[in-house]
Amino acid sequence: MLKKVIFFLFVNQFIFSQQLDFDFYIGKRKETKTFSFKYIQQGILNLDSNTNISATIEAFKLSYKTKNNFNSYLTLFSTRTFFSGKKNDKLNTLSSILNPFGGSLNLNIHSLIPIKIKEDLNLSLGVKIGKKLIEAQAIYFPIDNKAFFENYINIGSLIQKKIIDDPLNNTSLFFWGYTNLFLTKSLKKNREIFFDNELNSLSKGYGLEIGVQYNKSFKIMLIGNKILDTMKNSKLRKIIFQLSISYKLLK
């Protein structure tokens, strides 16, 4: 396991991931380009429709932003599930896969390409790159397998809307919506061990995320993701909803 973790941290070729992570900024920037690095940035509490409760820490984020509102982020998340209400290992594992912040380690690159910029509204094309280490319970021999890598391809459209921005009273409220299409992939043997082949090695799906951010530190997100090409009568076909509450630990 240690060798897998070391390899993961130094991997230099990323696969797309479905994780929405951006800073709100309405209108054009004055700076030509900026880099920033932050660590232990935010904590996130997650509850999904499979009754899984998990906690996430954003370990670090390297940001690159330009005057024309092109944004790119390299981020490392770590998520632990501490309660699973359903005794269905396949559904619980799928919850970790479809959780945008899921995985014991979740290293990703996320870029936002501006389409339309107004004083109180931004429209962008989102592209995500990442790789997750998923810890799960095997249901098929060898049952001592406890983890696997999952890769993603994701592209979508993002809208950011300023509702309130009052610097004098230090008050702000922003809304965002994000719709996307994604591919998710792992080795065929992992699909056999953890899903009994109910999930294809390469599967496609779609997702929707809406949320609000208050005072640049508190976020509430409602996320829905659905796999499209599972077996006809599989429970994995249903959409998984997730409520996430995020608080910025360091500013």
**Which pLDDT score, from 0 to 100, does residue 5 have?**
42
> Which of 217, 218, 213 has the alpha carbon at shortest distance from 251?
217
Give pLDDT, residue 31.
60
Exposure string over 147-178, b if 16+ CB within 10 A, otherwise e: bbbbbbbbebebbbbbeeeeeeeeebbbebeb
Alpha-carbon span 150 to 182, nearest angstrom: 13
Rg (CA), the chain: 18
Number of domains forming the structure of the chain:
1
Residue carrying the six token digits 């391809």: 153
The model's pTM: 0.85
Cα–Cα nearest to 92, from 118, 54, 121 = 54
Dist. CA 157–CA 240, nearest whole Å: 20
pLDDT at residue 4 is higher than 60:
no
Q: Check residue 68 and give its pLDDT.
A: 78
Q: Decide which of 112 and 3 is more confident.
A: 112
Q: Domain containing 130 — which CATH number?
A: 2.40.128
SS3 94: helix
Q: Which domain holds residue 72?
A: 2-248
Mean pLDDT across the chain = 85
Query: How many Å apart are CA 185 and CA 194, to the nearest integer?
Result: 13
Contacts 24+ apart (CB under 8 A), 134-138: 134/93, 134/96, 134/97, 134/102, 134/103, 134/104, 135/96, 135/104, 136/89, 136/92, 136/93, 136/96, 136/194, 137/89, 137/92, 137/93, 137/194, 138/89, 138/193, 138/194
Among 93-107, 146-160, 162-176, 177-191, which is the least confidently predicted range? 162-176
- The residue type of 12 is N
CB 106 within 8 A of CB 99: no
